Chains A and B, each alone.
Chain A
């Protein structure tokens, strides 16, 4: 197993706008790193450059401290699992998995052993003689993973492997791939546009947008300390609420919404916001950090609202409202169904508030 290092990697398809702009990060041995971002953000291109399927316009790529910019895909010792599985339709499952080994002239008995091992791990032993078209989507994806496993590569690359599966199967395969990672002790680079997949699977997550890396961190750090407004809105579901306003420091440090309809007193833990006094900011609060009663010992900010929509989920109730025309969603841990259209008290957890500069979108921290 091995590490992967990207140094100022840039990719231009045409000369105008880069598809990947100056990406630098390192994937450690045995690490599961997820590249996540909206479509067109450059995550797949980054993965394809690691695979050697796309040329690197500038920058350096190292696998195990060997620079591989000009090394062809077959000599990089990587294996890739594609979104559409990319199984060879004219070969049986066994032949599909053995193909890479045959091309590398691995001994026949060794091939058989490795394929059987992989098939056992993935539970596809009984399908070895079938052609891909006789398999279901989940089984095909397993074969694709198996084809990667038998090669025993230094690095596994996954390009949105679960997005062609239905929701239930996706959840199941997600845990299976995580288990597989632990079992194989493999270095994995995984691309997805689904933040849930990224959060649940990755040791670390690389969030990309518009060809630029926004933040690289562990799932919980991304969730708790997003670097900017994009990461804050992208990670978490339902997404973080944003309210635009201003920080004022006329005797008391306060957040005032744009039209002044809500004024929040910012207490001691938020005193670092003094440096942003007078500036336009965006306040962020996650739906799960909004409460419906005042029982806890935390510092809370009361917010009186009229609810537009109430969605009882059983374990929780999701309510929708607006503050100065900006949507606000809250996940309430209660069994008392609030009434639509009537005034309702919500409480924001002050120590869970996020603040972002309006001009740059960057987080303001202490």
Chain B
């Protein structure tokens, strides 16, 4: 009996927590379909009286959201793919290759992790400025091309790949690039997906860095554009909600599509890492 009671308690608690965290999202979606002003009435409403698409139309016509969406997609996809390649190459090298100073380099990378990102913002900004990358996609892609955390994650995972597999591939006639591409990468798939989701979400949701390096409003990413919207249209809650919906949809799609591997990656990492 008490077992059953426990189960019920757990389920009820979980439901309440799920409800509380989902509620704002649900309201955001509904509010985005409300008529102007309807979201701010008292007592607050959950469902709109009438579903209208006005705000979405405004976003894509008058407010140029398509441009921001493209910016966000190019940058996030670019950063994700390039960083996956570079992180996996260096993680694999740190895990499986013998070279002089490997330990020292890796340790100095790890110790660099304690430096907060804000400290490096100004120097990186200045460097990019001298290179002429401000207001280009490169201003976000280049600093995101490699991450110490990503290298570390892949290295730990690659350590669990037996040496004999790499040796077998070497005897089978593989060059180092072929071994990396045809043996190591496929085996690292779960951790690559996990890191890919982290990177994609991080880049997609990043606000501060794009705000710093993109001074030209046509280069804004969605979060920056959305924040700008807030400044201009303080009262227009429904419009804001519509912009937010557009912003989170791609992240949700990516997450749902890769969820299966993501969970596998986390678990594998925890057992083997």
A, B co-complexed: yes
Number of A-B contacts (CB under 8 A): 53
Contact with B along A80-92 (1 / 0, CB 8 A): 1011101011100
A86 in complex: contacting residue of B168, B174, B186, B187, CB < 8 Å = B168
User: Is B170 at the interface (CB under 8 A from chain A)?
Assistant: yes
Contact (Cβ within 8 A) A90 B187: yes
User: Is B57 at the interface (CB under 8 A from chain A)?
Assistant: no
Interface size on B, residues (CB 8 A): 17
Contact (Cβ within 8 A) A53 B172: no
A83 to B167, CA, bound (A): 12
Question: Chain B residue with minimal CB distance to A82?
Answer: B164
Question: Chain B residue with minimal CB distance to A148?
Answer: B171
Contact (Cβ within 8 A) A103 B187: no
Which A residues touch B165, using CB under 8 A? 86, 88
> For chain A residues 29-86, which have a beta carbon within 8 Å of chain B?
51-53, 72-74, 78-80, 82-84, 86
Contact (Cβ within 8 A) A82 B168: yes
| A53 touching B167 in the complex, CB below 8 Å, given contacts A86-B162, A90-B187 | yes
Question: Chain A residue with minimal CB distance to B187?
Answer: A90
User: Is A104 at the interface (CB under 8 A from chain B)?
Assistant: yes
Q: How far is the CB of B265 from chain A (nearest CB, A)?
A: 15
Which B residues touch A51, using CB under 8 A? 167, 171
Contact (Cβ within 8 A) A103 B183: no
User: Is A320 at the interface (CB under 8 A from chain B)?
Assistant: no
User: Is A99 at the interface (CB under 8 A from chain B)?
Assistant: yes
> For chain B residues 176-200, which have a beta carbon within 8 Å of chain A?
178, 182-183, 186-187, 189
Contact (Cβ within 8 A) A74 B171: yes
User: Is B101 at the interface (CB under 8 A from chain A)?
Assistant: no
Contact (Cβ within 8 A) A100 B164: no
Which A residues touch B171, using CB under 8 A? 51-53, 73-74, 78-80, 100
Q: How far is the CB of A30 from chain B (nearest CB, A)?
A: 21
User: Is B44 at the interface (CB under 8 A from chain A)?
Assistant: no
Q: How large is the interface on A (under 10, 10 to 19, 20 to 34, 35 or more residues)?
A: 20 to 34
A74 in complex: contacting residue of B174, B182, B187, CB < 8 Å = B174
Contact (Cβ within 8 A) B178 A84: no
Contact (Cβ within 8 A) A103 B174: yes
User: Is B173 at the interface (CB under 8 A from chain A)?
Assistant: yes
A51 to B182, CA, bound (A): 22
Contact (Cβ within 8 A) B183 A88: yes
> For chain B residues 137-175, which have a beta carbon within 8 Å of chain A?
162, 164-165, 167-174
Chain A interface SS verdict (over half): loop
Contact (Cβ within 8 A) B164 A99: no
Contact (Cβ within 8 A) B164 A90: no
Contact (Cβ within 8 A) A99 B172: yes
Contact (Cβ within 8 A) B187 A89: yes
A88 to B172, CA, bound (A): 12
Contact (Cβ within 8 A) A74 B167: no
| A103 touching B186 in the complex, CB below 8 Å, given contacts A84-B162, A86-B164 | no
Which B residues touch A73, using CB under 8 A? 167, 170-171
Contact (Cβ within 8 A) A74 B162: no
A83 to B162, CA, bound (A): 11
Q: How far is the CB of A168 from chain B (nearest CB, A)?
A: 25
Question: Chain B residue with minimal CB distance to A81?
Answer: B168
A103 to B167, CA, bound (A): 14
Contact (Cβ within 8 A) B164 A103: no
Question: Chain A residue with minimal CB distance to B168?
Answer: A86
Which A residues touch B164, using CB under 8 A? 82-84, 86
B173 in complex: contacting residue of A53, A89, A104, CB < 8 Å = A104
> For chain A residues 89-123, which have a beta carbon within 8 Å of chain B?
89-90, 99-100, 103-104
Which A residues touch B173, using CB under 8 A? 74, 100, 103-104
Interface residues in chain A, defined as those with a beta carbon under 8 Å from any beta carbon in chain B: 51-53, 72-74, 78-80, 82-84, 86, 88-90, 99-100, 103-104, 147, 151
Q: List 24 A-B contacts (CB under 8 A).
A: A51-B167, A51-B171, A72-B170, A73-B170, A74-B172, A74-B174, A80-B167, A80-B171, A82-B167, A83-B164, A84-B164, A86-B162, A86-B164, A86-B165, A86-B167, A86-B168, A89-B187, A90-B186, A99-B169, A99-B182, A100-B172, A103-B172, A104-B173, A147-B172
- Beyond A74-B174, A80-B168, 6 additional pairs, beta carbon < 8 A: A53-B170, A53-B171, A78-B171, A86-B167, A88-B169, A88-B183
* 4 pairs of A and B residues whose beta carbons are closest in the complex: A100-B172, A86-B164, A86-B168, A74-B173
